[in-house]
A and B are shown apart, each in its own frame.
Chain A
Amino acid sequence: MQVLDMIDEETYSFALKNALTEIGNICPEVKLSFIFSQEGKILAEDEKSAKYNAEKIVGNFEEIFQKSHAIGKVNSITIDAKGGKIIISNIQEGVYLATVTSKNVDMKYLETVSRVLIPTVLKLLEKIAPAPLKKPSAKKSAAIKEESREKTITEGISEPVLDEEVKPKLSPIPTNQLIVDTFGGLLVRQDTVKIDSEILSQWSEMLDEKNINLVEIETFEGKTAQCKVKPIKDAKLRGKGIIRMPEKLCELLDIKKGELVRVRPAIPKEV
């Protein structure tokens, strides 16, 4: 459960960070923004917030939250200063969005954007566990293709298919973040990975595909590979949010056991 929580958190954080960046793009008056929980945890922050210690900043609100029963909990805080504004708004039970803006910000517009965009993203994330993730750049895909060609694959072991032969469907492809678990051995097929049967049936349902036989794996470095997929048979390993990958494939993708990868189903191109 803890592993799954961690994955969920990362997915949420990624999607929310994108939403915050979008708010910054739509409202150029926004200097920085971040989302935090009433418990003082930073859930997501935009790039500009990185130069501040957001957790320390959020710690300042603890006392207000504790004493806010006098006004029926905190809904929003607006600090109008000579050089700008700080706006804290409640976007979900116990979740707050903090924005620092310039003095002349259109408050109504900002409120509309942030009170619509962020809760919509949160609702979407709640409905569909996997978050929409960016595809790796063409450059990075090409790099991994080059690297894979250089590797000598032993006889009888087929190489994982890289990019060309299969093409993901245009409909929204579900993506899961899974933790890498490796396995090796002489008789191990190097082109096959194993993931939870539950995830596979979820994907089948979402994509209306009878069987998911191929997956696309993307590392956080942007390297991708497409492999055959089979369900994890070992009951002890089920429901842990892991992907069992052959050691050689891990070497090829330059990843180690315990690292996170994005995994999505790949639907073969119809000829």
Chain B
Amino acid sequence: MPRKKSAKKKTKTPEKAQPLAEKDEKTEMLKTKLESIKDMPEVIGYILRNSRSATIDAKDPTKIIDYAMLSAATIETAEKLVEIFQLGEAEKIVLEGNTAKLLSFSIGENSISIFMEKNAKEDKIFRNLA
């Protein structure tokens, strides 16, 4: 009996590990891209989230929590709204403030939020990543 159990584990483990590895690879690639985007003078920070991890990076570390909370609230609201108005999946969200703006979108299982200066061209950044 114990032998059977271990056999099952062995067969299942590689099946699960394969897509996870792929997913992690994609996330790592995105992280690299985001790191280079963060170097752009108009970009002030980014958040990369998925079900297993979250990376937050901001030029002003004191604002990390504020950015994270605003990004979460914006994505949640957008999801609710597209559901109410039956518009399908949200592809891109842009929240513009008087001093900065936020661009949020998803690539696969990764949710990306990029904070940038008000005059930044979010379309250019979006095209770079999506």
B96 and A84: CB pair below 8 A? no
Report which of B67, B88, B93 forms a contact with A77, defined as CB distance below 8 A: B93
Q: Quick check: is B92 within 8 A (CB to CB) of the other chain?
A: yes
CB proximity to A under 8 Å, residues B58-84? 63, 66-67, 69-70, 73-74, 76-78, 80-82, 84
B100 at interface, CB cutoff 8 A: yes
B-contact 0/1 string along A85-127, CB 8 Å cutoff: 1100000000000001000000000000000000000000000
Write 11 A-B pairs (CB below 8 A) sorted by A numbering.
A64-B70, A64-B73, A64-B77, A67-B73, A70-B67, A70-B100, A74-B97, A75-B96, A80-B90, A83-B87, A85-B87
Interchain CB contact under 8 A, B85 and A100: yes
Within 8 A of A (CB), among B25-64: 63
User: Are B82 and A71 interface neighbours, CB within 8 A?
Assistant: no
User: What is the predominant secondary structure among interface residues of chain B facing chain A?
Assistant: mixed
The distance in angstroms between the C-alpha atoms of A60 and B115, with both chains bound, is 21
A81 beta carbon closer than 8 Å to chain B: yes
Count of residues in B whose CB is under 8 Å from the partner chain: 34
Flag if A78 contacts B93 (CB, 8 Å). yes
Digitize A55-73: 1 where CB-to-B-CB distance is under 8 Å, 0 elsewhere: 0010011011011111111
CB of B87 within 8 A of CB of A77, answer: no
Smallest CB gap from A77: residue in B: B95
Chain A interface helix/strand/loop/mixed: mixed
* Distance A108 CA – B67 CA, assembled complex (angstroms): 28
- Which residue in B70, B82, B99 is a CB contact (below 8 Å) of A79? B82
Task: Flag whether B15 is at the interface (Cβ < 8 A).
Answer: no
A211 at the interface (CB under 8 A from B): no
Question: Is there contact, CB below 8 Å, between B74 and A77?
Answer: yes
Partner of A72, one of B85, B94, B99: B99
CB distance from B112 to the nearest CB of A (A): 14
Given contacts A52-B84, A73-B97, A100-B85, contact A67 B91 (CB under 8 A): no
Partner of A84, one of B69, B73, B87: B87
How many residues on the A side are at the interface (Cβ–Cβ under 8 A)?
A: 29
A76 close to chain B: CB less than 8 A: yes
**Given the contacts A64-B70, A70-B70, A82-B91, A75 and B84 also touching, CB distance less than 8 Å:** no
Complex Cα distance A63/B77, Å? Answer: 9
How far, in whole Å, are A81 and B88 apart by their CA atoms in the complex? 6
Residues of B contacting A61 in the complex (Cβ-Cβ under 8 angstroms): 77
- B84 and A72 form a contact (CB under 8 A): no
Residue of B nearest to A79 (CB): B78
User: Smallest distance from the beta carbon of B58 to chain A beta carbons, Å?
Assistant: 10
Q: B23 at interface (Cβ–Cβ under 8 A)?
A: no
Residue of B nearest to A75 (CB): B96
Question: In whole angstroms, what is the CA distance A77 to B102 when docked?
Answer: 9
Quick check: A67 and B87 within 8 Å, CB to CB?
no
Shortest Cβ distance from residue B69 to the other chain A in the assembled complex, whole angstroms: 5
**B98 interfacial contact with A, CB 8 Å:** yes
Chain B hits for A75, CB < 8 A:
96-98
Residue of A nearest to B86 (CB): A83
Question: What residues on B are CB-neighbors of A76 within 8 Å?
Answer: 94-96
